[in-house]
Amino acid sequence: MYCTAFCPYCVRAEMLLKSKGVDFDKIFIDEMPDGFMKLYKLTGRRTVPQIFIGDRHVGGFDDLAALESRGELEPLLMTISQEHG
């Protein structure tokens, strides 16, 4: 998950992922030279968080929450854990 040190949506995304038992890395783009530019080149977005599940770019917190509300987050997480397990 690409994030910044002070981002309420990053905290919400972290809480949702932790509630699903997901281990993840946080990459603080505000601590990187040209971090926001690198994030934009990678995702086409300038906002945080930007979340990847495996190699799939999920998007930001709203996108993650939408996956959860549609019942699609857990199956996606299961697929990734099977690929890497």
The length of the chain in residues reads: 85
What residue ranges do the domains of the chain occupy? Answer: 2-84
Helix or strand holding residue 58 (H, E): strand 56-59
Q: Does the predicted model carry a pTM greater than 0.85?
A: yes
CATH superfamily of 2-84: Glutaredoxin (3.40.30.10)
Distance CA 22, CA 31 (A): 24
Helix ranges (H only) for 3-84 are 8-19, 35-43, 61-69, 73-84
Decide if pLDDT at 85 tops 60: no
pLDDT tens digits for range 6-64: 999 999 999 999 999 998 999 999 999 999 999 999 999 999 999 999 999 999 999 99
Decide if pLDDT at 75 tops 90: yes
